[in-house]
Amino acid sequence: MNVSRADFPKGFQFGAATSSYQIEGHGFGGAGQTHWDSFAATPGNVVRAENGAVACDHYHRMPQDLDLLAAANFDVYRFSTSWARVLPEGRGAVNPEGLDFYDRLVDGLLERGLKPAATLYHWELPSPLADLGGWRNRDIAGWFADFTEVIMGRIGDRVWSTATINEPWCVAWLSHFLGLHAPGLRDIRAAARAMHHVLLAHGRAIETMRGMGLTNLGAVCNFEYAAPADASPAAATAAARYDAIYNRWFLSGMFKGEYPAEALEGLMPHMPTGWQDDMPTIGAKVDWAGLNYYTRKLIGPDAGPWPACAEVPGPLPKTEMGWEIYPEGLHAFLTRTHAEYTRGLPLYITENGMANADVLVNGAVPDQARIDYLDAHLAQVRRAIAEGVPVAGYFVWSLLDNYEWSLGYEKRFGLIHVDFETLRRTPKASYHALARALAR
Ligand code: FCB
């Protein structure tokens, strides 16, 4: 790699990220059914109808995976806690095995000198709550606060940081408007409600954790740089609308107590009654903000109904996801988030990485493309830091090849290759390069 630990301020945290459903093996340890299980079992939703029942079998191989994490010289590990593993019905009876698992995980990290960075929710909603309307139902804020209390009551004394909900845009828009993630809805009323309730749940979880005396609490949003597809005013308007829905809605809600006008213009008729009264809860004070960043999109006008945005194929080199590689977008979001929303709070890049067509050749995986991707994005992080943006850490997505949601096991994002037949782990060239760059 071109960059190394020495190029970053003292105390800058390097980590790797994963999520529960994508690696643990949800069929193990008494976890309850989730909306991803039924979404995956419905033809047409997921490549080969694959699900997270086995995934990387991290549930049983956790000590080995933590050893690999430590050997890469990381400082911190971002993992998520599965609601359905802890509360199989979403509410009520606790699964003791589930709590024990996260307890062992946190202790295992601390024993290896790694900081545990928890994310409370990374998408596997318990099915009984999905039956009640899931994110469309305002009651989810209370259910989520209750889950927060249960899981943090067990591990909150030892975690280094806690984020509430991974990528509210994916939870709400991708899953209720675009229909590409569970529960697979394509309905503007459902989407408007989810867009609001996901933030209300975030606020209630923050309040709950504050009440428990916990510190270093944050929010993690995802960002996609929205560039107008051409120089026309129509493309500029469409890109601004896309940016409002994707990139500004959640930050505006949390840090300004309002939603962007370009998004409300379409969503207002579908918002839940009295939503304005929830803004103080949504604005509950956080200690840091996390940005997940992968790509940009070229946006032009579309003939259809609101939001009337069309994605136009771009000219830049692409990853296996078909996503353009645009490191400058990361710099743009770091500077904008700091200047317009978080104003001095520490920022973390909580996810960044690429899917690559990795192949195992004689026990090695030569993924130079991933090394280049990470280098280019870390250079943009350095640029933002040099300009005074308080960036405090960077997490690679992901530690392991894993269940990439609707794309099943086909897309490999890991620093470590996983053979999904044998579950054997093989560190890739990028893993070794990072380990050298991060040596203390
Ligand atoms: C993010 C998700 C993560 C993974 C990466 C590629 O949107 O948080 O689970 O799917 O994208």
Instruction: Provide the pLDDT for residue 11.
Output: 98
Q: Model confidence over 123-144: pLDDT tens digits?
A: 999 999 999 999 999 999 999 9
Domain of 53, CATH number, reads 3.20.20.80
224 is an active site residue: no
Q: What is the mean pLDDT of each run of 10 residues along the chain (440 residues)?
A: 97 99 98 98 98 98 98 98 99 98 99 99 99 98 99 98 99 99 98 99 99 98 98 98 98 99 98 98 99 98 97 98 98 99 99 98 97 98 98 99 98 98 98 97
Query: Residue 434 C-alpha to ligand 1 middle, in angstroms?
Result: 20
Would you say the CB of residue 19 lies under 6 angstroms from ligand 1? yes
Q: Which of 24, 50, 167, 224 is flagged as catalytic?
A: 167
| 361, amino acid identity | V
DSSP output for 222-257: EEEEEEESSSSHHHHHHHHHHHIIIIIHHHHHHHHS
* Number of domains composing the chain: 1
Would you say the CB of residue 170 lies under 6 angstroms from ligand 1? yes
- State how far the Cα of 80 lies from the Cα of 21, in Å rounded to an integer: 9
Q: Model confidence over 195-230: pLDDT tens digits?
A: 999 999 999 999 999 999 999 999 999 999 999 999
Instruction: Provide the pLDDT for residue 44.
Output: 98
Kindly tell me the burial class for residue 11, based on how many C-beta atoms sit within 10 Å of its own C-beta (0-12, 13-18, 19 or more). Answer: exposed
Listed in sequence order, the residues at least 6 apart from 243 whose beta carbon sits closer than 8 Å to its beta carbon are: 226, 262
Listed in sequence order, the residues at least 6 apart from 352 whose beta carbon sits closer than 8 Å to its beta carbon are: 292, 293, 294, 330, 374, 377, 394, 395, 396, 397
Buried b (16+ CB within 10 A) or exposed e, 326-343: bbebbbbbbbbbbeebbe
Would you say the CB of residue 167 lies under 6 angstroms from ligand 1? yes
404 is an active site residue: no
- State how far the Cα of 119 lies from the Cα of 1, in Å rounded to an integer: 29
Query: Residue 22 C-alpha to ligand 1 middle, in angstroms?
Result: 9
Q: Which domain holds residue 127?
A: 5-437
Query: Residue 278 C-alpha to ligand 1 middle, in angstroms?
Result: 28
The reported pTM is 0.98
Kindly report the protein residue whose alpha carbon is nearest to atom 4 of ligand 1: 404
